[in-house]
Amino acid sequence: MRFSGDVAATFASRLILVGFGVASSVLTARYLGPAGRGSLATLTALAGIGLQLGNLGLHASNTYQVSRRPDLLSPVWANSLRTASYLGLFLTLLTLGAAALFPGVLGEIPLPLLLPATLCIPFQLLVLFGLNLLVGLGRVPLFNSLELIFRGAGVGGLFVILVLLHGDVRWVLILNLIIAAGAAVAVVRILGGMVRRSGTGESRTSLALFRSSVGYGAKAYVAALLAYLIVRSDMLLVNMLRGTSDAGVYSIAVQITDLIYLLPMSIGLVLFPRLTRHHEGDPVFAMKVARHTAFLMLILCAAAALLAHPVIKLLYGESFLPAVRALWWLLPGIWAYGVCNQVATQLASSGMPLPAVLVWIPPLLLNVILNFAWIPRWGIQGAAASSSVAYFLVLALHLFLWKRRIRGTWVDALILRRSDLKEVGASAGIESWS
């Protein structure tokens, strides 16, 4: 019951965060204008790239480590504090240096404006590491609450800066830095209190634990990067092969599937620490979750297919109606990708074996090849169809790997009754990777 409650709360919080994002976008677009909005988007994107490329996957490793062994909270948190400080400062200087060496990236944006954007990186790393520790400890409600508080404070601050004080891009960037620093202070106080209450004494860093964290984090990072490229390569190729107009229409279909994917993403977020506590995962429970995810995704995808035409016409206008057919082609794939999320979570919870990383490469290559073949001929519908084919290949390969982790086929397990699943769980062994 707690698992279902955590999933529902996490899904609801994701939807609220989407709402906060829309509110921020509207405020900055209306009060900064196209030029100011473009400058802000460029600066935050550069800082975001530095954050994403430089986190080493340690946020995923933090969840994995403390889920398996909660007694490691103290050294993991100490390592996180030091890593966020040193690595964050390095990424800040690296981003500033790259922008100075290649001024064309910023265009007409003054270089000093990049400073407050990049100074957020150490604080954002600290918050990222800390929040994922909360997930690993099973403190999902606290994780959701903090994310909502931080994002809500940002939207409220934007309203004050832009609407009441008529501030510009510089003040928005300073606001973002203040919010990031405040969030980091809050996370430090919360995790520091948890460490003290754990009775493990003063937090001390551990080089051996850091090496182990980097080893797991690197695999999780590569897998996430490959998955991201599969999901976003079609958008880039549509823009390259068909132009910005088609890319704009296609982005509506992609945005709708992103909203649908919030459900399996929320389930995976709650599922991962639960499976990790079993060290080799809990294949019986994971099968049950995958089955329920498949059913819920089927309902969401069917509803999206039925409502796509009237909703897109109402919100975006008739010029965006070609996105409807593209969405229809995308929906089977997003269903497969949503189910795959739970299978990938099971593999990640058992130590992220190397095949679970390499399994993303064939679908990525297939998606790129099909996009080059189908987009010139069928436009955005070809891009959507190629993505669905790639997503189904992702699911098939993950199911194959999952079958090697547990005895019996996934299909057979899915049709068993609950009582039968318990019997399988009692007798099923874990096979080693060959």
Q: Which amino acid is at 139?
A: R
**Under 8 Å CB-to-CB from 239, ≥6 apart: which residues?**
246, 247
C-alpha separations of 275 from 5, 76, 283, 369, 373 in Å: 17, 20, 8, 35, 40
Task: Report the C-alpha dihedral over residues 404, 406, 407, 412, rounded to 10 degrees.
Answer: -100
Return left, alpha or beta for 414; rule: phi > 0 is left, psi -120 to 50 is alpha, else beta.
Answer: alpha
CA 192 to chain centre: 26
pTM higher than 0.85, yes or no? no
C-alpha separations of 174 from 25, 158, 404 in Å: 17, 11, 51
C-alpha separations of 419 from 70, 239, 316, 423 in Å: 31, 51, 49, 7
- The closest of 265, 275, 356, 343 to 67, measured between CA atoms, is 275
What pLDDT tens digit does each residue of the chain (434 aa) get? 577 777 888 888 888 888 887 788 778 767 877 677 767 777 776 777 777 777 777 888 888 888 888 888 888 888 888 888 888 898 888 888 887 887 766 767 788 888 888 898 899 999 999 998 898 888 888 988 999 999 899 989 989 988 888 888 889 899 999 999 999 999 999 998 888 887 655 567 677 777 777 778 888 888 887 887 887 778 778 877 887 678 777 877 887 888 888 889 888 888 888 877 765 556 778 788 888 899 999 999 999 999 989 988 887 778 888 889 999 999 999 999 999 988 888 888 877 788 888 899 999 999 999 999 999 999 989 999 999 999 999 999 998 888 777 654 334 444 444 444 444 344 333 333 32
In angstroms, the CA 225 to CA 371 distance is 19
Q: Which amino acid is at 311?
A: V
Do residues 144 and 13 touch, judged by C-beta distance below 8 A?
A: yes
Classify residue 111 by its DSSP letter: G
Do residues 42 and 115 touch, judged by C-beta distance below 8 A?
A: no
Q: How many beta carbons lie within 10 A of that of residue 24, not counting itself?
A: 18
In angstroms, the CA 158 to CA 20 distance is 11
Q: Which amino acid is at 54?
A: G
Burial 230-243 (b: 16+ CB within 10 A, else e): bbebbbebbbebbe
3-state secondary structure 337-382: HHHHHHHHHHHHHCCCCHHHHHCCHHHHHHHHHHHHHHHHHHCHHH
